[in-house]
Amino acid sequence: MHPIHDQDLSPAQVTQLTRAMLSVALVDGIHPAEAALIGQFYESSRSADMPSTATVLVSPDAQAFDASGLAGSTPEFADTVVLMCLMAAYADGSLSPAERSHVQTIATALGVQGGRFDVLLAQVRDELVGAISHLPDAGSVAAVVRELAAAD
């Protein structure tokens, strides 16, 4: 799943998306894996005239995020924001109830309804399972699948 590859994001959209992802990571403290995912996204998407990745990640809590600024986004961008926020939340290994609630708040601001949110959440979970399904320890893979299913 690479939701941004089919879109040509503007610098403003890259900034909005990065801030949304950071706001999710800040819900329970930024884990190194979350910072790495967000940094990789930003670095691969930013244009030369945008602040450096280090600048963006050095003090993410100083960059207030207001989900209402995403209102009126295209459905494609809305899906991308929700997918990437869910990916950021799961980067540390789990989606906490507080992170899920925050991503749902962002989704609501984007006009993503509950049913669509559930589809996007399932898509992220499927991608996570697919990423580990090649591992030789089938029991561990099955445990992760059960844990993801129980998170609802």
Give the tens place of pLDDT for each residue, 66-87: 888 888 899 999 999 999 999 9
Whether the CB-CB separation of 117 and 104 falls below 8 Å is answered with yes
Q: What is the CATH number of the domain that holds 49?
A: 1.10.3680
- Is residue 138 a part of any domain in this protein? yes
- Is residue 136 a part of any domain in this protein? yes
Residue 61's pLDDT band (cuts 50, 70, 90): low
Q: What pLDDT is stored for residue 71 in this prediction?
A: 86
- Is residue 63 a part of any domain in this protein? yes
Residue 18's pLDDT band (cuts 50, 70, 90): very high
State the residue range of the domain holding 87: 11-150
Give the tens place of pLDDT for each residue, 118-140: 999 999 988 876 555 555 565 55
- Is residue 85 a part of any domain in this protein? yes
- Is residue 4 a part of any domain in this protein? no
Cα(102)–Cα(53) distance, integer angstroms: 24
Q: Phi/psi at 136 (nearest 5 deg)?
A: -70, -20
Tell me the pTM: 0.80
Overall domain count for the chain: 1
